[in-house]
Structure 1
Amino acid sequence: MTDPTTNPTESNPKPYQRLRNLVLALVAVLLSATLVWGLQTETGVSSLETQAAQATPLEVALNNGKPTLMEFYANWCTSCQAMAKDLGEVKADYGNQVNFAMLNVDNTKWLPEVLRYRVDGIPHFVYFNSQGEAIAQTIGEQPKSVLKADLEALIAQQTLPYANQTGKVSAFQAKVKPQSGEDPRSHGGS
């Protein structure tokens, strides 16, 4: 005789219940794996924050005898975000031959560089030779093929084929103005 307080299906589940439990377990595993992969992708090499954290400090980049690509960017910049994946791939390909320095325009620490290189749209790239001298600039979104061609020319110490080009930019105005009242871009002129 069976005990009326126990459910016979609890101790001996039917085959369809086992299959259902197995499917639920597999779905849970797949969803977990997808979530983990998604989080890793979002914080991977292509994110601006990750790239900035891995960038060569400007002082080191301009003094270590390697050519440098300096990028002015901001986390809110849609053009910067659009280029992040391609730039991450380019940095992975050329990181042993070229320094990659990233300067966030929202950080007032970089105001002298923002003014020196006349940053009024981002992304803004400045190319430096191995002696730390600025030799070219580009502004705005650049296709990966253009970046690669310019970096290969930079490494070979040749004229950059796509330098001084302007692509799509995000407008930028410095939050802080020079205190002297004179624009350092005027070079003392009126």
Structure 2
Amino acid sequence: MIETPDPGPSQQRGHKESLLLLLLAVVLAGAVLWFRGGLHPEAPLERMARQSPDLQVALANGKPSMVEFYADWCEACKSMAPAMETMESQHRGELNVVLLNVDNPRWQPQMDRYGVNGIPQLELFNDQGVDIGRSIGARSGAELQAMAQALIAKEPLPKFAGMGAISTLDVAEQNQAKGVTSPSQAGPRSHG
């Protein structure tokens, strides 16, 4: 039988010091997380924007689309995000939900095209990719559901305050035809 020698006092002290260092590291890591506000799961806006289809793909795939112009700093956008996420998950496969961040210069042509001057702004497209409605301002979950259901069922859009149909002529063309020049409008980033 082989006997293992008992660890000496210096080996016991080394083992205790290692355990103490490990415990200290765990406590420090916990303190850092606590002071930083804990582990932050990805925000719904970020998750939805990352998962949303490309705008051109959405407008050409034969499904109606709801396009939200938003910003990470927009409180109304953030408060509406959980309801948008719920609505998107309930209608996945029937409705495209596309998020475009107004702070990303990539979307400037779309912001100009759709006259974005406040956020959140929803552009509503039928299954042929035709812009049929616009909603400006935060919407409740029930309002988002009503819009989604109308788009999917090809029914008239609900009539909510801050929401309207889109003309086949845009405002600039209408004003030009009337000989009216319109003053420049503030951009969505000017709202704080």
User: Do they superpose with TM above 0.5?
Assistant: yes
**Aligned 8 A contact 2:133 2:157 in 1:** yes
Matched, 1:95 2:92: yes
The 2-side partners of 1:110 and 1:74 are apart by 12
Matched, 1:140 2:126: no
Structure 1 residues 7-86: aligned runs within 5 Å? 39=39, 42-43=41-42, 46=44, 48-86=45-83
- How far is 1:86 from its partner? 1.1
- How far is 1:186 from its partner? 2.7
Q: 2:118 aligns with which of 112, 117, 121?
A: 121
- How far is 1:162 from its partner? 3.3
Q: Deviations over 1:134-169 (max 9, x none)?
A: 001101110100110111111010001135x329xx
Q: Which secondary structure state, in structure 2, belongs to the residue aligned with residue 60 of structure 1?
A: helix
Aligned length: 147
What are structure 1's unaligned runs of at least 5 residues? 1-5, 7-27, 168-183
Q: Which secondary structure state, in structure 2, belongs to the residue aligned with residue 53 of structure 1?
A: helix
Tell me the TM-score normalized by structure 1.
0.66
Match of 1:186 in 2: 172
Amino acid at match of 1:166: G
Amino acid at match of 2:42: T
What are structure 2's unaligned runs of at least 5 residues? 1-8, 10-26, 164-169, 181-192
- How far is 1:109 from its partner? 1.9
The 2-side partners of 1:42 and 1:162 are apart by 35
Q: Deviations over 1:91-129 (max 9, x none)?
A: 111121000111111112212221222111100001100
Tell me the TM-score normalized by structure 2.
0.65
**Aligned 8 A contact 2:60 2:128 in 1:** yes
Amino acid at match of 1:61: A
Moved segments of 4+, more than 6 Å: none
Q: Which secondary structure state, in structure 2, belongs to the residue aligned with residue 86 of structure 1?
A: helix
Identity %: 39
- How far is 1:185 from its partner? 5.0
Q: 1:161 aligns with which of 158, 162, 170?
A: 158
CA RMSD of aligned residues (A): 3.1
The 2-side partners of 1:120 and 1:66 are apart by 26
